[in-house]
Amino acid sequence: MTNHWVDMRNTDCALIIGSNAAENHPMSFKWLTEAREKRGAKIIHVDPRFTRTSARADIYVPMRSGTDIAFIGGIINYILENNLYFHDYVVNYTNAPFIIDDGFDCYDNGVFQGLFTGYDPEKRKYDQSTWKYKTDAAGKPLKDLTLQSPRCVFQLLKKHFERYDVDTVCSITGTPKDLFLKVAETYAATGTRDKSGTILYAMGTTQHTVGSENVRAYAILQLLLGNIGVPGGGVNAMRGESNVQGACDMGLLNHVLTGYMGAPTNDPAYADLAGYLAKETPKAGFKVNTPKWLKSMLKAWYGDAATPENDFCYDYLPKRRAGRDHSHIGIFEAMYDGEIKGLLIFGSNPFVSGPDAAKETKALEKLDWMVAADLFETETASFWKREAGADPSKIKTEVFFLPAAASYEKSGTITNSGRWIQFRWKAVDPVGEAISDLEIFREIGHKIKEVYQGSTDPKDKPILDMTWDYPEEEAALLDAVQREINGYDLKTGKLMPKFADLRDDGTTSCGVWIYCGMYTEEGNKTQLRSTEDPSGMGVYPKWSYAWPANRRIVYNRCSADPSGKPWSEDKKIVWWDGGSWKGIDVPDFIVKYGPGDAEDKAFIMKDDGVGGLFAKMADGPFPEHYEPWESPVKHPFSPVQFNPVAIIWDTPMNPQGKADRYPIIGTTYRVVEHWQAGIMTRNTPWLAELMPEAFVEISKELAAEKGIANGDVVTVESARAKVKAVACVTGRFKPFKINGKWYHEIGLVWHYGFQGIAKGDPANRLTPHIGCANSQTPEYKAFLCDIYKGVK
Ligand SMILES: Nc1nc2c(c(=O)[nH]1)N[C@H]1C(S)=C(S)[C@@H](COP(=O)(O)OP(=O)(O)OC[C@H]3O[C@@H](n4cnc5c(=O)[nH]c(N)nc54)[C@H](O)[C@@H]3O)O[C@H]1N2
Ligand SMILES: Nc1nc2c(c(=O)[nH]1)N[C@H]1C(S)=C(S)[C@@H](COP(=O)(O)OP(=O)(O)OC[C@H]3O[C@@H](n4cnc5c(=O)[nH]c(N)nc54)[C@H](O)[C@@H]3O)O[C@H]1N2
Ligand SMILES: [Mo]
């Protein structure tokens, strides 16, 4: 989230797209309802089916799964054609005026044909060397502040989205034209000084082969309307499990270290620390401080062993294999191929949650050993014994199960979507032998160190040098870890007050640079619980600690005009008072520069200092509509049907379904009564009773065609598997008219497996092993299937 939960009450319009917030993030509705009641805010919901969010929206609009870019692209075009963008914001705070290099030329007779400049079909990758600004002799980017040059970003953007006219868009998305125009008009009205609009998105957006570009489309829309960096605005990811944000911050994603520093690969360019820093440190912008953050992290990890002479033990960092995919899908492909021997699986149940779940289960059989740590014996932990057709005597995997304490049974912080790092105190002691994950890891660390004790083999040095001196007692352990994450001034032994003070000479340590400041000599700020809100804007500066630097709304320089005057009194959050910057939020810019200074930049994490309408993504500088991997629809205006850079896993057990055999669009989603892979809620009697069976929502029209009645047991089949479910015949799904032809979409809940009280087939047996070209998030939200009555 660029903004935060409470800030939603400051909005004039909420566009909820790719999210069923009322069910999956109910607290967001508390603030949206307040915005509606107190400010007359409008709520728009865009979703393939009518949900509980739709029921609470002012405008509900249906849209076929997998067509977000077409939908948003249509709004972008509507705004550009009708001059509804926020001109002064766009000129000053985005790269709209920047001139693009002459080498970037992907137009055939002036029209884009689906591939950007530099495409290599063999590698399915772009050479992005022309995706850059044109510069003068001194290397300074050229700009046209009138936005008229045909080579400026603004005009290229206009040309790109010209093709997304209302009729074309509606013929792709299946949205009725009058409804589409109503959304475009209502949302575009936020592009003024005194209004702001927020976008709430979640998995309907990201679980696509174009997932990251879907988010980019939202970012472009928000920049055009001046909705970034202002109260009530932002691009707001409704994050998933309570600590998904925190886990990502801690470096749990495969491609980053802590605080989103890039993770090294075995490419020779990353062979030593100097090489890494040369690759990862830009020439301008706040990220020039990368050496301070990385070296401080290495000091936290390797302590006294990390010295300037040995590159601070940089060599110890694991290197990903260059050109290989190490995401969830990539790991399971490697496991299936027998490349991975052992697996530690903590709080995850891919038997139910993984894409192409039958393949992922097969992959588990290839392991020599697996350690599962969970609250319950999940389907994954017991995959070897009860899966239909499984013969335990033929499965070699040795499985260990570690009982883990649940969130209520341990203290610690979680970081919410709004980046607030909040401490919570334990309610009860864990039952039986269960201990917290932190304690489990402490023990594993101690044991591994014990095993390697005394080794002189150089490859064992990283284990021996790892700092791992943690207290026994749970509260003391937690305290030590939080302090390590915050970091120390190693000269004085005092906790670091802020990340701006970190040094690159090895005299500071800091586990996660963006968390520096959360636990200082003044105390543990994640435990702050003051309900003071001096501004009345919901900033609550003394409630927990928001990263970075306790800033609640990022990019907030954009809330004021270039002279430092807030665009509107109603949306005032930081301002220039003539001699210095003032504000009710922590400024997200360098306050020593005043308005008009060359270094007065609004997007300090970027080397160009401006919001990117044109940006470097794996699949292009602008989002382009491509059809999902499995789609019954031929791309109506481009010869390029499918995302040309998405990795295609041409591997066993992952066949691609074709529309002649599987003509129906399938999608998957959650219900409020169940949680995820379901083991917690399917083991809770009253929730199991409320949602006892796996079901599939189908329209009345499709039910009539297929002779299916509400409550019938049906089979849903994809190219990969068949699953059994109960039919829920409903008016909430309607057929889509695409290019003059009718198409059906159905939706399955994915919470079921064979364990617990409420049981059912996992919907993920149907989904394909393919993901987003940038993030590898699986395409759970759009695939091909068929449905019929009964079980065959
Ligand atoms: N009760 C409950 N709450 C939860 C969870 C839970 O399991 N149960 N899970 C948590 C987690 S980890 C997460 S990540 C979040 C997920 O939160 P959400 O993303 O809200 O969850 P979903 O229900 O998977 O999907 C949201 C909506 O996307 C729609 N959709 C399908 N295809 C498309 C498409 O192509 N485009 C668009 N725009 N929309 C589409 C679906 O119809 C669905 O209504 O919820 C969190 N909250
Ligand atoms: N088809 C389809 N598939 C999907 C999705 C979808 O929308 N459609 N959504 C995807 C998304 S967004 C997500 S996040 C994944 C989730 O996929 P998973 O992470 O595999 O599923 P969860 O059920 O959230 O797994 C959490 C497990 O952690 C255990 N647990 C709870 N607390 C603790 C704890 O403190 N310690 C330990 N060790 N264990 C604990 C629970 O008992 C549970 O078994 O599923 C993905 N799969
Ligand atoms: Mo999630």
Residues 420 and 506 placed together within one structural domain of the fold: no
The three-state secondary structure class of 264 is coil
pLDDT at 388 over 80: no
- Burial call 204-229: b when 16+ CB within 10 Å, e when fewer: bbbbbbbbbbbbbbbbbbbbbbbbbb
Rounded Cα distance between 269 and 317, Å, is 15
In a domain, 300, yes or no: yes
Closest CA to 254 of 330, 313, 315: 330
Residues 272 and 361 placed together within one structural domain of the fold: no
Which atom of ligand 2 is closest in space to residue 748's alpha carbon? 1
Of 781, 783, 784, 785, the residue with max ligand 1 atoms within 8 A of its CB, to mutate for a pocket test, comes to 781
Residues 780 and 716 placed together within one structural domain of the fold: yes
Residues 720 and 746 placed together within one structural domain of the fold: yes
Mean pLDDT of 145-168: 98
Residues 6+ apart with CB under 8 A from 493: none
pLDDT at 15 over 80: yes
Mean pLDDT of 652-677: 98
In a domain, 259, yes or no: yes
Contact 736, 750 (CB under 8 A): no
pLDDT score at 4 = 97
pLDDT at 557 over 80: yes
Please tell me the distance between residue 48's alpha carbon and the centre of ligand 3 in angstroms: 19
Which atom of ligand 1 is closest in space to residue 51's alpha carbon? 44
- Burial call 388-409: b when 16+ CB within 10 Å, e when fewer: eeeeeeebebebeebbbbbbeb
Give the 3-state secondary structure of 318-342.
CCECCCCCCCHHHHHHHHHCCCCCE
Closest CA to 785 of 740, 705, 723: 723
Residues 6+ apart with CB under 8 A from 484: 300, 467, 509, 511
Please tell me the distance between residue 676's alpha carbon and the centre of ligand 3 in angstroms: 8
In this prediction, residue 480 has a pLDDT band, given cuts at 50, 70 and 90, of: very high
Please tell me the distance between residue 19's alpha carbon and the centre of ligand 3 in angstroms: 12
Residues 333 and 307 placed together within one structural domain of the fold: no
Within a 10 A sphere around the Cβ of 715, how many other Cβ atoms?
18
**Ramachandran bin of 790, using left for φ above 0, alpha for ψ from -120 to 50, beta for the remaining angles:** left
Last residue within a domain, chosen from 525, 540, 566: 525
Contact residues of ligand 1, CB 6 A cut-off: 17-20, 23-24, 46-49, 51, 65-66, 68, 202-205, 238, 240-241, 667, 669-670, 672, 674-676, 747, 781-782
Which atom of ligand 1 is closest in space to residue 241's alpha carbon? 12
Mean pLDDT of 542-566: 98
Mean pLDDT of 621-644: 97
In a domain, 716, yes or no: yes
With tokens 């270039």, the residue in question is 562
In a domain, 717, yes or no: yes
Closest CA to 65 of 743, 656, 763: 743
Of 349, 775, 777, the residue with max ligand 2 atoms within 8 A of its CB, to mutate for a pocket test, comes to 349
- Burial call 461-493: b when 16+ CB within 10 Å, e when fewer: bbbebbbeebeeebeebbeebbbbbbbbbbeee
In this prediction, residue 456 has a pLDDT band, given cuts at 50, 70 and 90, of: very high
Contact 768, 702 (CB under 8 A): no
Helices marked H in 505-599: none
Contact 683, 716 (CB under 8 A): no
Residues 6+ apart with CB under 8 A from 77: 161, 162, 164, 165, 169
Last residue within a domain, chosen from 452, 485, 511: 452
Mean pLDDT of 99-127: 96
Residues 697 and 767 placed together within one structural domain of the fold: yes
Contact residues of ligand 2, CB 6 A cut-off: 203, 207, 240-241, 346-350, 353, 373-376, 378, 404, 406-407, 437, 668-669, 676-677, 679-680, 750, 763-764, 767, 780
CATH classification of the domain holding 671: 2.40.40.20
Cα–Cα distances in Å, from 672 out to 205, 352, 375, 376, 677?
A: 19, 17, 20, 21, 13
Residues 781 and 741 placed together within one structural domain of the fold: yes
Residues in the chain: 792
With tokens 């930049």, the residue in question is 601
pLDDT at 387 over 90: no
pLDDT at 792 over 90: no
pLDDT at 623 over 80: yes
Which atom of ligand 2 is closest in space to residue 373's alpha carbon? 38
Residues 728 and 756 placed together within one structural domain of the fold: yes
Residues 428 and 514 placed together within one structural domain of the fold: no
Structural domain of residue 757, as residue ranges? 664-789
Please tell me the distance between residue 497's alpha carbon and the centre of ligand 2 in angstroms: 35
When computed from its CA atoms, the radius of gyration of the chain, rounded to whole angstroms, is 26
With tokens 């543990």, the residue in question is 524
Rounded Cα distance between 478 and 413, Å, is 9
DSSP 712-770: -EEEEE-SS-EEEEEEEEETTS--EEETTEEE-EEEEE----SSSSS----GGGSS-S-
In a domain, 115, yes or no: no
Last residue within a domain, chosen from 399, 425, 452: 452
In a domain, 534, yes or no: no
pLDDT tens by residue, 685-736? 999 999 999 999 999 999 999 999 999 999 999 999 999 999 999 999 999 9
Supply 590's token pair.
């360098």
DSSP 27-65: HHHHHHHHHHHHH--EEEEE-SS--HHHHT-SEEE---T
Which atom of ligand 1 is closest in space to residue 19's alpha carbon? 20
In a domain, 395, yes or no: yes
pLDDT tens by residue, 741-786? 999 999 999 999 999 999 999 999 999 999 999 999 999 999 999 9
Q: Whose CA is nearest to atom 40 of ligand 2?
A: 347
Rounded Cα distance between 513 and 250, Å, is 10
Please tell me the distance between residue 646's alpha carbon and the centre of ligand 1 in angstroms: 22
Q: What percent of the chain has pLDDT over 90?
A: 98
In a domain, 167, yes or no: no
Q: What is the largest CA-CA distance in the chain?
A: 78
In this prediction, residue 390 has a pLDDT band, given cuts at 50, 70 and 90, of: confident
Residues 6+ apart with CB under 8 A from 150: none
Pairing, β 197-201 against β 13-17: parallel
Mean pLDDT of 349-378: 97
In this prediction, residue 389 has a pLDDT band, given cuts at 50, 70 and 90, of: confident
pLDDT score at 482 = 98
Contact 350, 357 (CB under 8 A): yes
- Name the helix (H) or strand (E) containing 783: strand 783-789
Q: Whose CA is nearest to atom 12 of ligand 1?
A: 240
Residues 344 and 440 placed together within one structural domain of the fold: yes
Please tell me the distance between residue 649's alpha carbon and the centre of ligand 3 in angstroms: 23
Supply 395's token pair.
């499965």
Residues 668 and 784 placed together within one structural domain of the fold: yes
Rounded Cα distance between 215 and 200, Å, is 10
pLDDT tens by residue, 303-331? 999 999 999 999 999 999 999 999 999 99
How many domains are there within the chain? 3
- Name the helix (H) or strand (E) containing 244: helix 244-249
Residues 701 and 751 placed together within one structural domain of the fold: yes
Chain centre to alpha carbon of residue 223: 19
Rounded Cα distance between 686 and 683, Å, is 9
The three-state secondary structure class of 421 is strand
Rounded Cα distance between 85 and 94, Å, is 12
Phi/psi of residue 26, nearest 5 degrees:
-55, -30
pLDDT at 615 over 90: yes
Average pLDDT, the chain: 97
With tokens 């700092």, the residue in question is 467
pLDDT at 386 over 90: no
Rounded (10°) angle between helices 166-173 and 177-188:
120
What residues are paired with 61 via a beta bridge?
46
Mean pLDDT of 660-682: 98
Q: What percent of the chain has pLDDT over 70?
A: 100
pLDDT tens by residue, 240-270? 988 999 999 999 999 999 999 999 999 999 9
Q: Whose CA is nearest to atom 7 of ligand 2?
A: 669
